[in-house]
Amino acid sequence: MGGKIGTDVELAAGLLRSGKPVGLPTETVYGLAANGLDPNAISQIFEIKNRPFFDPLILHVASIQQAMEFTHSWSEEAKQLAAAFWPGPLTLVLPKNNLVPDLVTSGNPTVAVRIPNHSIALELLQQLDFPLAAPSANPFGYVSPTTAMHVFDQLGDKVPYILDGGPCMRGLESTIVACLPNQQPKILRLGSISVHEISMVIGEIDESLTQNSNPSAPGQLDQHYSPYCKLEALENLTFAQTQLPTTAKKAILLFSKTKIQNQLVDIDNFTPKIDKFYLSENGDTNQAAQQLFSMLRQFDALKYTHVWFEWAPETGLGRAINDRLRRAAAKR
């Protein structure tokens, strides 16, 4: 792989200073990072990902103080959330000032910011005198990467360097909360911090998980996070599908070993056999979240053509997992 993947933070910092993009490990998913104040560098991110310009980026910063350099009008709730979850998988949408290029925010008067909880990402951010704009490092619409190799597989020829921080501990993107003046705080995207955890800090919180073609959080597009194989909910599995031609390679993705929620299908009696996988053998939603994207990628790598999945229970991170599954399975 020609030294393209490595742990050289100085090298990554040098590339970023010269306006180049770099693969960035975080605790959630790998990002494709560039100087968040340099429109030229930022435009390369959109080009490499084939990402539409209406989809704004998250600014990654090293400290609350640095976040405050680019934002204003922090509400009490915003302060409480930052204090409780940063560094960590929480993204705050706040009013921006004019240091932030329009390209980062798609012209919005607000900007999304977070401090990632990953030692290499933090070390890098501390060396830089600018924030890093970084979307997930996948081609637009595909499954998010949770290892350096995932980034290399798809974007290796377009990115000069990928910092390797090991497999992502969380595996699912940050939870996005908008804290805007004269509005109640709102969850815009479910993610690695559950709604329950957030409500423990600021009380009951509204959700605005829009699902149309001009969303305020395009991670909320109906179809997103999709592998190439045909992905369908298990309840849609029909007998006819078990009889697909022998060229079809089929798998079932169960949430856990302990509980098969959908009793309609007696999976073990299928002939020919359908391979079985588990998001978390003992039914832990954190582990399932950590596994989800790498499993979806593995189905493509192993050339499965049809995969049926079981929904997660709606507890813990189960809702966020189901959100990703639903979008991953949505028709293109």
Binding site for Mg ion (CB under 5 A): 136
CA angle, 61 then 64 then 67, to 5°: 50
97 to each of 53, 115, 130, 260, how far by Cα in Å?
Answer: 20, 18, 15, 50
Which CB atom, from 45 or from 317, has the smaller least distance to Mg ion? 45
Which residues 1-60 are close enough to bind ligand TXA by CB under 6 A? Answer: 26, 28-29, 31, 55-58
Does position 289 bind ligand TXA by CB under 6 A? Answer: no
CA 18 from chain center: how many Å? 27
Which CB atom, from 213 or from 263, has the smaller least distance to ligand TXA? 213
- Among residues 22, 67, 93, 159, which is the contact residue for ligand TXA, using CB under 6 A? 93
Which CB atom, from 11 or from 180, has the smaller least distance to ligand TXA? 180
- Among residues 154, 216, 280, 285, which is the contact residue for ligand TXA, using CB under 6 A? 216
Handedness of CA 219, 81, 314, 303 (dihedral sign): positive
Which CB atom, from 146 or from 256, has the smaller least distance to ligand TXA? 146
Choose the one of ligand TXA, Mg ion, none that binds residue 28, judging by a C-beta under 5 to 8 angstroms depending on kind.
ligand TXA
Does position 102 bind ligand TXA by CB under 6 A? Answer: no
Does position 101 bind ligand TXA by CB under 6 A? Answer: no
User: Is residue 177 a contact partner of residue 187, using CB atoms and an 8 Å limit?
Assistant: yes
Edge to edge, the sheet with strand 175-178 lists 5-6, 162-163, 22-24, 31-35, 132-133, 58-60, 110-114, 90-95, 175-178, 186-189, 206-207
SS3 per-residue string spanning 295-319? HHHHHHHCCCCEEEECCCCCCCCHH
* Least distance between ligand TXA and beta carbon 176 (Å): 5
Contact residues for ligand TXA, defined by CB under 6 A: 26, 28-29, 31, 55-58, 89, 91, 93, 105, 108, 110-112, 116, 134-136, 173-174, 176, 188, 216-219
